[in-house]
Structure 1
Amino acid sequence: MGDGKIITGVLAGPGRLDKALADASGLSRERIKALISEGAVTLEERVASNTSTKVTGGETFAIALPPPAPLDAEAQDIPLDVVFEDAHLIVVNKPAGLVVHPAAGNLDGTLVNALLHHCAGRLSGINGTLRPGIVHRIDKDTSGLLVVAKSDGAHEGLARQFADHSIERTYLAVCAGHPRPGEGTISARIGRSDANRKKMAVLHEKSPRGKHAVTHYSTLRPLDDCTLIECRLETGRTHQVRVHLASIGHPLVGDPVYGHDPKALRPLLKELGFARQAL
């Protein structure tokens, strides 16, 4: 919606206004809150001013998206492993060690800088100047496929699919030890750790902090002192796989934050120079 277009629709069900609008539009709740504060949202043709207003469902809404600001991130010629690309989106195999978007401490040398060069600036502007086209993220030291929106229409569609969990996210990982049972589901709330605010942690399910998270895991191949597993995510919380696996006593091999490597594996990991989570 880069030309200041308007998203319109009908709220599907009862609840808080910001959550109902996020569910209906595919935009994030934080984005919805910001737009409400800017007076860019109407409900039943009246300007909405309170994010926590209770709705019953069936109300009509309109969200006026402002034109995106000019892109501030610098285009840089950084090699990309492009798996798929068309006029609407691009799928990139992100290597471990590459930060997704510019932020404090990482203003260049990121995936976004590389994408701006590769796509000649033709990326969705919905997420602003530092995160053009970015619909989801992968940790710096995690490798995997990242879907990036080139058009605003693709961005909205992808955001909606991530919000309603219709996109399946699957990761391969190597965890310490051998999980028993060999497959299962970890359903546990994740939020900031009380002991270390730089870390995430599993919280009590009734905690007012954090967010509910679900990870399904299954054993692919038992190895010496570790296991190759597949993790399928229903949700996409910060450090979800790492925190969930550590919570059942099987942290990811090489994870410097959430686990300790099995003693028998340490010489091999040192020889390989492997100093990041096996994800």
Structure 2
Amino acid sequence: MLRCCALIAAGTAEALTTLTARRRIRATARRRIALSAAKDDGATLPGATYEVLHEDDDILVVDKGAGLLFVPGRQPHKHDSLISRVRSTRGDAVGVAHRLDRDTSGICVLAKTKAALRALSIQFQDRQVNKTYVGAVAGVPAAEGVIDGAIGKILTPEGYNRVALLSEAEGGRAATTAYRVLETAEHSALLELAPRTGRAHQLRVHLASIGHPLLGDALHGGAAHERLCLHSARLAFAHPATKRPVAFASDAPFDATGGPPPR
């Protein structure tokens, strides 16, 4: 079951902690790791679910479970997704302003009207949305840091498209991630992650590039685990109708070891 999440009421939301990391890490193509050719069928996993945290006339805030596709795919086995489930009860007007990977859990916001979708999309495009993730990684990195490294798609020898470090000269797009260590275990750590850009797979690629892949991230060299240890923990934005600040939070369902946190 998904862990309970907290809503910070509109108009009273405090600004999320800004990471003031002093150690900048330049991720370069020379540090590109070998990408796994492993490939599943991409469908929603059995038992994957979601929880509605907040709903009004304009937005729907959801805590998505790991393993649930965000949007449906073209193939029949990929039709089951968060969006298809929500639209089956709330209609096709529900719109998508941002996405989470299938294997990433946590907070996301959906629009219930065209006006709300436009307003939210602008905020995401203009980087006005404050996004914070929590991830469990292999090894223990420096206490805090900022990772810089352009990201783009490459074609593996097996013919798969993969997101990886790619110089801007090769078509990569600039990407920056700030992090700080929240807790440590013997061979792993729990990090707070603040993506300053919104590239696909950015957190996964950046963490792997500095030698600390997310637990469960088989594509980028992470240790085998029952799930990808990446969780969208906080999302703060201006409500598309009232323009007042709102923020939503969700506890990560894992600790520094990747296991359930102590109660």
TM-score range, shorter chain: 0.5 to 0.7
Equivalent in the alignment of 1:165: 127
Report whether the alignment pairs 1:83 with 2:53: yes
Distance 1:207 1:104 in 2: 33
114-123 vs 169-178, which moves further: 114-123
TM-score for both structures, normalised by structure 2: 0.64
Residues 138-177 of structure 1: pairs in structure 2 closer than 5 A: 138-177=100-139
Distance 2:148 2:49 in 1: 38
Q: Which consecutive unaligned segments of at least 5 residues does structure 2 have?
A: 1-47, 231-263
TM-score for both structures, normalised by structure 1: 0.61
Once the two structures are superposed, what CA deviation does each residue of 1:179-214 show, in whole Å capped at 9, x if it has no partner? 02x11111110011354542211122x424121111
Corresponding residue to 1:278 among 195, 218, 229: 229
Distance 1:152 1:228 in 2: 38
Q: Higher strand fraction: Structure 1 or Structure 2?
A: 2
Residues 72-221 of structure 1: pairs in structure 2 closer than 5 A: 80-105=50-75, 106-123=77-94, 133-180=95-142, 182-195=143-156, 197-204=160-167, 206-221=168-183
Cα separation, partners in 2 of 1:188 and 1:79, compared to 1, 3 Å: closer
Corresponding residue to 1:231 among 190, 193, 212: 193
What amino acid does structure 2 have at the position aligned with 1:278?
A: C
SS class of match (2:181): strand
Once the two structures are superposed, what CA deviation does each residue of 1:34-88 show, in whole Å capped at 9, x if it has no partner? xxxxxxxxxxxxxxxxxxxxxxxxxxxxxxxxxxxxxxxxxxxx96400111000
Once the two structures are superposed, what CA deviation does each residue of 1:111-138 show, in whole Å capped at 9, x if it has no partner? 1111112313442xxxxxxxxx011111
TM-fit CA distance, 1:109:
1.2
The percent of aligned pairs where both chains have the same amino acid is 37
Equivalent in the alignment of 1:25: none
SS class of match (2:208): helix
What amino acid does structure 2 have at the position aligned with 1:189?
A: A
Q: Higher helix fraction: Structure 1 or Structure 2?
A: 1
Runs (4+) off by over 6 Å: none
What amino acid does structure 1 have at the position aligned with 2:229?
A: A
SS class of match (1:193): strand
TM-fit CA distance, 1:104:
2.5
Higher RCO, Cα 8 Å, sep 6+:
2
Distance 2:74 2:147 in 1: 33
What amino acid does structure 2 have at the position aligned with 1:183?
A: E
TM-fit CA distance, 1:233:
1.0
Distance 1:118 1:103 in 2: 19
What is the count of residue pairs matched by the alignment?
A: 180
What amino acid does structure 2 have at the position aligned with 1:95?
A: G
Distance 1:120 1:242 in 2: 33
Cα separation, partners in 2 of 1:95 and 1:207, compared to 1, 3 Å: same
SS class of match (1:257): helix
Once the two structures are superposed, what CA deviation does each residue of 1:192-244 show, in whole Å capped at 9, x if it has no partner? 1354542211122x424121111111100011200000101111111110000
What amino acid does structure 2 have at the position aligned with 1:96?
A: A
Distance 1:112 1:239 in 2: 20
CA RMSD of aligned residues (A): 1.8
- Which has the higher Rg, Structure 1 or Structure 2? 1
Corresponding residue to 1:241 among 182, 203, 216: 203
Distance 1:170 1:90 in 2: 19
Distance 1:259 1:208 in 2: 23
SS class of match (1:207): helix
